[in-house]
Chain A
Amino acid sequence: MHLQVSSVCKTFGHGAKAKLVLDRVSFDLHAGEFLALVGSSGSGKSTVMRLIAGLDRPSAGTITIDGQPVRGPGSDRGMVFQKYSLYPWLTAAQNVAFGMELQRRPRLEIRERTAYFLEVVGLADAARKLPRELSGGMQQRIAIARALAAEPRVLLLDEPFGALDIQIRESMQEFLHQLWRQTGLTALLITHDLEEALLLANRVHIMAPNPGRIVRSVDVDLDRSNMAHLRVSPGFLELREELAQSLRGLEPALSR
């Protein structure tokens, strides 16, 4: 799998109201990698993701997967939104099965894979619960299980933990890291939390707004065997502080 985003621009609106939201954004993502896009609000992160998902079209530039241009949404690119994305009338298990049913997979396979992915996200016990009976963190885990069960080649995560409180957020970061190691998935994570990006991704692109563009890219090579430890280790904090500085430098008006 090779996702290639090259010189992608996106303009919203026409004529005098036209607004350039993405300016020549380029990056690559290979199978098994974990990539993060970090940037302040309005830097166009979600727009990039929607273009990759095929929910929107770039105004210029190309997005290809294994050389094939993206023409619309498809099950090869699974997406997890920040919130409101579980079907409230379906149980957790039915939500996980939903994508596979749309794909018309055999019933037996659906049942087995549903059970398997509920197990993977640690929610086998919640199979028969409705989304409203689950906590925010559990709901996001189900959303991730649903996306994975449809066998995407790349998992697109748009601030998946943005609506969770800090403790659950940390445990979800741990969970996502374990999931990545276990399943060897390819992931693109959007976040405005630098720490989250550095904890999880092999490579981090930093985006700046007006117009949205990538201003800096770093490879992150850290020992992630103990995340709690990593969060407070000097090397990690140093890298985080350095990048935070450069992020602040981008928005003099907002820095304290």
Chain B
Amino acid sequence: MHTSLLQRWLRHPWTLGVIGVSTVLVLWWLISSTGLVDKLFLPSPQAVLQAGQVQWSSGLLVKDAAASIQRVFIGFAMSAGLALPIGIAMGTNPVVCRLLEPLMGLIRYMPAPAFIPLLIIYFGLEELPKVLLIFIGTFFFNTLMIMDAVKFVPHELVETARTLGGRGLPILIRVVAPFIAPQVLDTYRINMASAWNLVIVAELVAATEGLGKRISLAQRFLRTDEIFLGLIVIGLIGLLIDLGFRFLMRRSCAWAN
């Protein structure tokens, strides 16, 4: 009786994940409370929590998070919105594919952060270079992954539609689009992680606000508790976005699960 309850509890999809996270939290708390490690290197959970409370009540935390999220959102929306038609065009039209694939394959391997100096020279220190960095860092991956999804649409599905009287655009809308929808969402979910990485990198280099900026300021004043806070907040927001995409996918593409 007891074991079956335990087993059922263990089998819950979240149980083990929660155990993993809380183990790390408890270890962190234990180690920092023994005082074996210098506070400068390992702030206690309480200190981090307190830093969070301070930043929350001063409104700094919300302002930073909003600034970072906005940059990610604009840059990624541009990237996702442009990658969709171009990826589909490359996946359906061999000429477009042969024209663009080598170019994109090349640029894809140029590390996006290496574009930062260039972007600063071109566009200064305002919002535009940060947004563009996110765009550069995700657009080529988005496009090539969408192209692949399109190429894997079974041709029976397209040919059936053609023998039913369908052509061009209706087939694109009614066959290709629904078939690739789950992969497109998954592509966005995966590349969103890099967008989130890049915004922090951009802010570390130059910004007046943002979660990355807060971390680099904290470093200047040796405030490791604030660095920890920044990292945790960044991780949590990323996780939330990821879960959001998963939720969207489960909702809109139930057939694919």
- Do the beta carbons of B157 and A102 come within 8 Å of each other? no
* B255 lies within 8 A of chain A by Cβ: yes
What count of chain A residues pass the 8 Å CB interface test? 29
Partner of A87, one of B159, B175, B256: B175
Q: Once bound together, how far apart are the Cα atoms of A147 and B156, in whole Å? A: 13
Q: Once bound together, how far apart are the Cα atoms of A78 and B170, in whole Å? A: 18
Q: Once bound together, how far apart are the Cα atoms of A103 and B174, in whole Å? A: 13
| Chain A residue at smallest Cβ distance from B178 | A89
Q: Once bound together, how far apart are the Cα atoms of A101 and B173, in whole Å? A: 13
Beyond A81-B156, A89-B178, whether A53 also contacts B255 by CB under 8 A is no
Q: Once bound together, how far apart are the Cα atoms of A129 and B255, in whole Å? A: 11
- Do the beta carbons of A79 and B179 come within 8 Å of each other? no
* A162 lies within 8 A of chain B by Cβ: no
Contacts of B160 in A (CB 8 A): 79, 81, 85, 143, 146
Q: Once bound together, how far apart are the Cα atoms of A84 and B174, in whole Å? A: 16
| Chain B residue at smallest Cβ distance from A91 | B255
Name the residue in A53, A75, A89, A150 with the highest tally of chain B Cβ atoms < 10 Å from its Cβ: A89
Partner of B165, one of A53, A75, A85, A156: A75
Contacts of A146 in B (CB 8 A): 160, 164
- Do the beta carbons of A132 and B255 come within 8 Å of each other? yes
Query: How far in angstroms is the closest Cβ of chain A from B49?
Result: 46
Q: Once bound together, how far apart are the Cα atoms of A81 and B155, in whole Å? A: 11
Q: Once bound together, how far apart are the Cα atoms of A88 and B178, in whole Å? A: 9
Q: Mostly helix, strand, loop or mixed at chain A's interface?
A: loop
* B34 lies within 8 A of chain A by Cβ: no
- Do the beta carbons of A99 and B164 come within 8 Å of each other? yes
Contacts of B174 in A (CB 8 A): 98, 101-102
Q: Once bound together, how far apart are the Cα atoms of A79 and B160, in whole Å? A: 7
* A73 lies within 8 A of chain B by Cβ: yes
* B166 lies within 8 A of chain A by Cβ: yes
> Can you give 11 contacting A-B residue pairs, CB < 8 Å?
A54-B162, A72-B162, A75-B165, A77-B163, A83-B156, A85-B156, A87-B175, A89-B178, A89-B181, A130-B255, A150-B165
| Contact surface of A with B, Cβ cutoff 8 Å | 53-55, 72-75, 77-79, 81, 83-85, 87-89, 98-99, 101-103, 130, 132, 143, 146-147, 150, 156
For the complex of A and B, the 7 pairs showing the least CB-CB separation, nearest first, are A75-B165, A99-B164, A73-B162, A79-B163, A102-B166, A89-B255, A85-B156
| Contact surface of B with A, Cβ cutoff 8 Å | 154, 156-157, 159-166, 170, 174-175, 178-179, 181, 253, 255-256
Besides the known contacts A55-B159, A85-B156, 4 further A-B residue pairs in the complex with CB atoms under 8 A apart: A54-B163, A83-B156, A89-B179, A99-B166
